[in-house]
């Protein structure tokens, strides 16, 4: 049985190769094949160019995102510093008020 299926595959292969030889002997079919190959090369080149462009854009966007993250961190640290300044200002106001009351008591 194994030999019979091998024989059928061999026969299919021979028929396929005969068809292929006939196809390649026909100039019109060969020209169509060459034309298709040229188009596939052009398409590949176009796809590679598009891929490179997209990759460059992605890198640019990653750099912009990183720059935004850094600006956000700087802004956040400034906000924290502003909050600390407000807290110190309130403490100073409290001390000034206490000293003013003390000065009034001394008068």
The reply to whether the predicted model has a pTM over 0.75 is no
Q: Can you give the pLDDT at residue 96?
A: 86
When mean pLDDT is compared across 17-21, 40-44, 86-90, 91-95, the lowest value belongs to 17-21
Q: What residues make up the domain containing 54?
A: 2-106
For residue 77, name the pLDDT band (cuts at 50, 70, 90). confident
Q: How far apart are CA 12 and CA 107, in angstroms?
A: 120
Taking the CA atoms of residue 59, residue 61, residue 63 and residue 67 in that order, the dihedral angle to the nearest 10 degrees is -170
Q: Can you give the pLDDT at residue 57?
A: 96
Q: How far apart are CA 58 and CA 63, in angstroms?
A: 9
24-67 pLDDT, tens digit each: 777 777 788 889 999 999 999 999 999 999 999 999 999 999 99
Q: Can you give the pLDDT at residue 1?
A: 44
- Split into its structural domains, the chain has a count of 1
- On whether the CB atoms of residues 62 and 68 are closer than 8 A, the answer is no
**Residue 100 CA to chain centroid, in angstroms?**
63
Q: How far apart are CA 94 and CA 92, in angstroms?
A: 5
**Residue 107 CA to chain centroid, in angstroms?**
74
Alpha carbon distance, N-terminus to C-terminus of the chain: 123
């Amino acid at each position: 049985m194994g030999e019979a299926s091998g024989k059928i595959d061999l026969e299919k292969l021979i028929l396929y190769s005969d068809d292929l030889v006939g196809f390649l002997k026909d100039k019109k079919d060969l020209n169509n094949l060459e034309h298709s190959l040229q188009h596939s090369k052009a398409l590949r080149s176009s796809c590679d160019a598009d891929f490179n462009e997209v990759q460059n854009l992605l890198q640019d966007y990653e750099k912009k995102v990183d720059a935004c993250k850094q600006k956000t961190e700087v802004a956040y640290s400034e906000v924290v510093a502003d909050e600390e300044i407000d807290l110190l200002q309130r403490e100073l106001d409290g001390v000034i008020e206490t000293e003013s009351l003390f000065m009034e008591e001394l008068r």
